[in-house]
Every structure is written in structure tokens, then in C-alpha cells.
């Protein structure tokens, strides 16, 4: 195993030191240009100084709401370097979601993409927050004028400050950044991670399992605000001196193909060697008419996470490109992947074996580890993980923190079996959460939005399995007597009032929902209907 980081440890300073010997090498290639390791070093330290000049102090929090670009990386590492805590959030949420996060995290400033400024301005208008400054990346600051805050343009703001000459002397276990994780009920949970957690995931998984090296050019369809993307495209590659492709737009097949083939102005023929995505993305690419030929890409390795990778997708991808997809399970709480397949030894349809440095237990209903069967396999139970990258807590939520972070062990919320070869096989979640395109969706949140439509009397949402073996949401809707609405209208309503990725992919109108004598919706009956429908 790699050595433990020193007690005083600043992950941003650690990355800058590690890469100090090759300032000319490209670190980040985004949609508009390229940033060398030397330029990254300077911009991160300017950003730290500029944050201090805004009055930000150690441990204070800053909202990081940006599309993927080199500015995202500079902002994140600049915060860490200054000991300021970035709260990196999903760019696809609503103004209401951001208004909650601003208050819950008590952020003092926000770093935002110009394109997202109007949404942030709406959130700021709701009040109750402590934001005094907003720094705008890539575009005009006059798109919207949030009242009562000082506005700065990112580039000019950096240029106006000299590089900080020393990093904050942080402890390795000190809060470094937050990510939000959704639960089936209640508000999203502010998951607090440390400087050392970034080090451990990069060493144990990025280097240990993926074997990333300085000559790699990596590209992640999963964005930086996801824990998966943050490791994929920031902490892992920068830990080994590799180069990263960053893309602001949505990872459509066409946009991903352009990067994989090096066919963009800033890539100019350079092709990624490592690609990371979620299973739904791989399925979408395989089904796309413009899927590039094997000799048009330069891949040596692909990674998948977010939801279980169906065997067929892995096999079809490997047959087409001659490159395996390494499926592994990770979580926001553990920061990255703790159980994974290995390059050269992939068993499709499984999550592989524990990543060295992590320990797994499958526990029974009595809470104890289940005894293996004579052949070494373990029947289905609750998966627990122990390892050095677990979050400290959910902010201001003792109850849910206690349920999840149980001493050295973290409760994953997943059901798993283990086969006779010691490989772990996903068997569903033990809460109601669904993973759609690798992203959490709460069926209850979708239902609450459906019943706000004037024509909807009641609604129930379940996960259904599509032809690729992937989970999609389906809503069973009962309309009010005399009311009418089309499926498209109801989906549009959801996209308008919810983060758009949460909209139900299918709608079925039914005269009533199956209920218990006490009026509780019987979701298992809906799943039975669905099974019968697919069989027929
Ligand atoms: C599910 C998987 C089967 C599982 C994540 C890699 O997905 C990530 O984090 P989230 O907090 O969700 C965690 C939950 O998603 N899941 C993820 N990967 C797999 N199920 N096979 C998989 N390969 O329910 C897990 O508990 O959004 C993934 C790295 C960092 C991450 N945060």
C-alpha cells in the first residue's frame, strides 16, 4: 500500500509540488485552450490569494457552480490551497436547490459559470444566505445582476492578485471540500471530505487499479462536480502528471466521439487513452450511427461506474474497440471506487473485488457478516465498506450521519452477493433510490412534482429495466376526474419544476393506484404489472 500522507497535508500544494519538475507539460485541455502544469501552478496560487483578498478565511465555504473547464480546476485547487472549502454542486439543478445549498452550507462567496449566473441570481434573490461576492467564469458578468453582492470576472480577478506564497497549513483530516448526495427523502446531504481522502482515492484506485501514468490523456463524461468525475479528471490524473480533456457541454454521443477521436480545435488530433463514463452513456454510444471505428480512437482503458454495467454492454464495447470497460462501485460517501474489476481480468456482470486498501463485508439481517457457503460464495446481504477515504459526516445531520458512518465502517445502502471466485455482484439498493444514467433520482421527489400538475390526482414512480438492462423511471399517473393531459405535457412539467434529468422516462395513465387497506401505495404491485407487461 502507498505511504500515508503526512499529518499536515494540503492536497492542492501536494499536486503542485508533485508536478513542479515539468511545467511545460499540458495539464488541462478544455474547449477554449490549454493550461500547462506551470500555468496551473501560477493560477491556483493567484486564485488562493484572490480568495483571501475577498476576505475569505480558512474553513469558510464557497459555492463552486461551474461547467467543466480549466477554471473549475483552478477554482477548486485555489480554494484548497487557501484552506477555503469549495462546495462543488451539480450544474443541472434548479434555483430552489441552489437556494437551499447556499443557506445550508453558509457559503460566503460563489464561483459560477456565466451561463449559470441567471439561475444563481434567482437563488440569491430568495435571501437568507451570507454570499457577499460572486466570481464569474467565461462570459459576461452582466447576464444577470444579483443584487447586494460584488461581481468579479474570473480572469481579471486572478490577474489582479499575485500568487500566494504559501499554502494553508491544513491537517490531512481537515475538511477540504463538500459534495451533495441525494437521499430518498429530505434535502440532499452535505458530504464533508478531507484533504487526505483525495490522496487516498488517487493512490489506491487511480494509480493502484487504473495504473494511470504521466503519458495518459484522460477524458471523463462524468462531470467534475460528481465524486466520480472529480477523481477521474482532477485528483487522479494530476497526481501522476497526466493530461486531462475537459468539456463544458452535455456528454452526448456526438460530443464524446469528437473528443475520443481528437477532433476538436484544442485537441487537434490528440486522442484520449483513458475514458470514463456511466453505463447509460456507453449504451447510447454503442447504439449511435456515428460510433467511431476502433482505429479512429486511441483508448487503452475504459472505466464505468454510477450504476451496474450490464454484461452485454461491456462485451459489445470490448468487441468493437478491443478495450475493456472496468466496472467498479463507488459512492459520494467513500469519494471514489472501493470495489472494482481489474485491467486484464474483467468479469462482466460483476463489480470485481475489493480495491486494495478497502475491506468489504456483506451483513445479514442480524447485522453480522454472513458466513460464506461451502464454495466460498455469500448470499445476498447489506454491503459495508471500510477504508481511508470515507467522508467525515453529513453536515448538520447527526441522525443520517450515524446511520451511514458507523465507526470505521460505512453502510453503502446496496445489496450484494459474492460469487465463489470472491467477486462482488450488485443485487439492488436497500432504500428507494434509483440510479438513472448513473445519477441518483428519488421516486418521492418526482411524485411530489407530478402531483403539482393541475391535472394529476396522484402518482407513483418506480424504476423499470430497459432493453439494455439499465434502470429508467416510469410514472403511474391518475388524472383528476374530467381532467386531461398528455404524457409529453406531464414530462415537460417535470423538467420545468425539477432538475430536468429527474423527469420520468415513461408515463402510464391508470384509473387508480394499488393501495393497502391503510392507503399506502403498493409499489411492488406496480413492479409486478411491469413484469407482466414486459413478459407479454
Ligand atoms: C450505485 C453502482 C452498481 C450504488 C460514484 C464512482 O455513483 C457514485 O456515487 P453516488 O453517490 O452513488 C453511489 C451508489 O451508486 N453504484 C455506483 N457505481 C456502481 N452500482 N455498480 C456500480 N459500478 O448504489 C452506490 O451505492 O452517486 C461512483 C466513484 C464515485 C462515486 N461517487
Q: Quick check: 373 pLDDT over 80? A: yes
Residue 221: which pLDDT band, with cuts at 50, 70 and 90? very high
Enumerate residues 6+ apart whose C-beta is below 8 A from 420: 375, 376, 377
Instruction: Tell me the mean pLDDT in the region 17-46.
Output: 98
Most ligand 1 atoms within 8 A of CB, residue of 228, 282, 306, 351 to mutate: 306
For the entire predicted model, the pTM comes to 0.97
Residue 351: which region, alpha, beta or left (left: phi > 0; alpha: psi -120 to 50)?
alpha
pLDDT band at 352 (very low <50, low <70, confident <90, very high): very high
Q: What is the mean pLDDT of residues 248-258?
A: 98
pLDDT at 430: 93
**pLDDT (0 to 100) of residue 193:** 99
Q: For 448-479, how does the pLDDT look when each residue is reduced to its tens digit (9 = 90+)?
A: 999 999 999 999 999 999 999 999 999 999 99
Examine the pLDDT at 144 and tell me if it is beyond 90.
no
DSSP string, 187-237: SPEEEEEEHHHHHHHIIIIIITTT---TT-EEEESS-TTSHHHHIIIIIHH
Render pLDDT for 186-217 as a digit per residue (tens, 0 to 9): 999 999 999 999 999 999 999 999 999 999 99
291-296 contacts, C-beta under 8 A, 24 or more apart: 291/253, 291/257, 291/320, 292/257, 292/260, 292/261, 294/320, 294/321, 294/322, 296/260, 296/261
Q: 379, 382, 306, 303: which is closest to 341 by C-alpha?
A: 303
Other CB atoms within 10 Å distance of the CB of residue 524: 10
**CB 447 near ligand 1, within 6 Å:** no
Query: Coil, strand, or helix at residue 61?
Result: strand
- What is the Å distance from ligand 1's center to 361 Cα? 17
Residue 345 is classified by DSSP as B
Contacting residues for 197 by C-beta, under 8 A, at least 6 apart? 176, 335, 388, 389, 390, 391
- At residue 145, the pLDDT reads 78
- Give the 3-state secondary structure of residue 286: helix
Residue bearing the CA closest to ligand 1, atom 13: 331
Is the minimum distance from the CB of 43 to ligand 1 under 6 angstroms? no
CA distance linking residue 299 with residue 68, whole number of Å:
21
Confidence of residue 333 (pLDDT cuts 50, 70, 90): very high
In whole angstroms, how far apart are CA 529 and each of 463, 470, 513?
A: 12, 18, 11
Is the CB of 201 inside a 6 Å radius of any atom of ligand 1?
Answer: no
Out of 435, 440, 442, mutate this one to test ligand 1's pocket (max ligand atoms within 8 Å of CB): namely 435
- For 58-76, how does the pLDDT look when each residue is reduced to its tens digit (9 = 90+)? 999 999 999 999 999 999 9
Structure confidence at residue 406 (pLDDT)? 98
Amino acid at each position: 500500500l502507498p505511504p500515508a500522507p503526512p499529518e499536515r497535508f494540503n492536497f492542492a500544494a501536494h499536486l503542485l509540488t508533485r508536478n513542479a519538475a515539468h511545467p511545460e507539460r499540458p495539464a488541462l485541455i478544455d474547449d477554449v485552450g490549454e493550461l500547462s502544469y506551470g500555468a496551473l501552478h501560477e493560477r491556483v496560487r493567484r486564485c488562493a490569494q484572490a480568495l483571501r483578498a475577498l476576505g475569505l478565511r480558512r474553513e469558510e465555504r464557497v459555492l463552486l457552480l461551474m461547467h467543466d473547464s480549466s477554471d473549475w480546476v483552478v477554482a477548486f485547487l485555489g480554494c484548497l490551497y487557501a484552506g477555503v472549502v469549495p462546495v462543488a454542486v451539480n450544474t443541472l439543478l434548479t434555483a430552489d436547490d441552489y437556494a437551499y445549498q447556499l443557506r445550508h452550507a453558509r457559503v460566503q462567496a460563489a464561483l459560477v459559470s456565466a451561463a449559470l449566473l441567471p439561475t444563481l441570481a434567482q437563488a440569491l434573490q430568495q435571501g437568507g444566505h451570507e454570499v457577499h461576492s460572486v466570481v464569474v467564469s467565461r462570459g459576461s458578468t452582466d447576464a444577470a445582476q444579483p443584487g447586494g453582492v460584488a461581481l468579479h470576472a474570473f480572469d481579471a480577478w486572478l490577474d489582479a492578485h499575485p500568487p500566494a506564497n504559501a499554502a494553508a497549513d491544513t491537517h490531512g483530516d481537515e475538511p477540504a471540500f463538500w459534495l451533495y448526495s441525494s437521499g430518498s427523502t429530505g434535502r440532499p446531504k452535505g458530504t464533508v471530505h478531507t484533504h487526505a481522502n483525495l490522496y487516498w482515492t488517487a493512490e489506491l484506485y487511480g494509480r493502484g487499479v487504473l495504473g494511470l501514468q504521466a503519458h495518459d490523456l484522460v477524458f471523463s463524461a462524468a462531470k467534475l462536480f460528481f465524486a466520480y468525475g472529480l477523481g477521474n479528471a482532477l485528483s487522479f490524473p494530476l497526481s501522476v502528471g497526466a493530461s486531462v480533456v475537459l468539456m463544458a457541454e452535455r456528454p452526448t454521443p456526438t460530443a464524446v466521439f469528437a473528443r475520443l477521436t481528437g477532433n476538436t480545435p484544442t485537441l487537434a488530433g490528440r486522442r484520449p487513452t483513458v475514458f470514463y463514463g456511466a453505463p447509460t452513456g456507453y449504451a447510447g454510444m454503442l447504439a449511435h450511427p456515428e460510433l467511431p471505428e476502433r482505429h479512429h480512437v486511441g483508448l487503452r482503458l475504459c472505466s464505468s461506474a454510477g450504476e451496474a454495467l450490464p454484461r452485454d454492454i461491456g462485451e459489445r464495447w470490448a468487441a468493437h474497440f478491443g478495450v475493456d470497460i472496468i466496472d467498479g462501485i463507488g459512492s459520494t460517501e467513500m469519494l471514489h471506487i472501493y470495489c472494482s474489476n481489474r485491467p486484464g481480468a474483467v468479469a462482466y456482470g460483476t463489480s470485481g473485488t475489493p480495491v486494495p486498501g478497502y475491506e468489504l463485508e456483506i451483513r445479514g439481517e442480524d447485522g453480522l457478516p454472513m458466513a460464506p457457503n461451502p464454495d466460498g460464495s455469500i448470499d445476498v446481504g447489506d454491503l459495508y465498506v471500510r477504508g481511508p477515504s470515507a467522508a467525515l459526516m453529513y453536515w448538520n445531520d447527526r441522525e443520517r450521519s450515524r446511520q451511514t458512518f458507523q465507526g470505521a465502517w460505512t453502510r453503502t445502502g446496496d445489496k450484494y452477493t459474492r460469487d465463489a471466485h470472491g467477486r462482488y455482484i450488485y443485487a439492488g439498493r436497500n432504500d428507494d433510490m434509483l440510479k438513472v444514467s448513473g445519477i441518483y433520482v428519488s421516486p418521492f421527489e418526482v411524485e411530489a412534482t407530478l402531483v403539482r400538475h393541475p391535472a394529476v390526482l396522484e402518482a407513483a414512480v418506480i424504476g423499470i429495466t430497459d432493453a439494455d438492462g439499465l434502470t429508467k423511471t416510469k410514472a403511474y399517473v391518475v388524472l383528476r376526474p374530467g381532467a386531461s393531459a398528455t404524457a409529453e405535457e406531464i414530462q415537460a412539467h417535470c423538467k420545468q419544476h425539477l432538475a430536468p434529468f429527474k423527469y420520468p422516462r415513461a408515463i402510464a395513465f391508470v384509473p387508480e393506484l394499488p393501495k393497502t387497506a391503510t392507503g399506502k401505495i403498493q409499489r411492488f404491485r406496480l413492479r409486478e404489472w411491469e413484469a407482466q407487461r414486459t413478459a407479454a
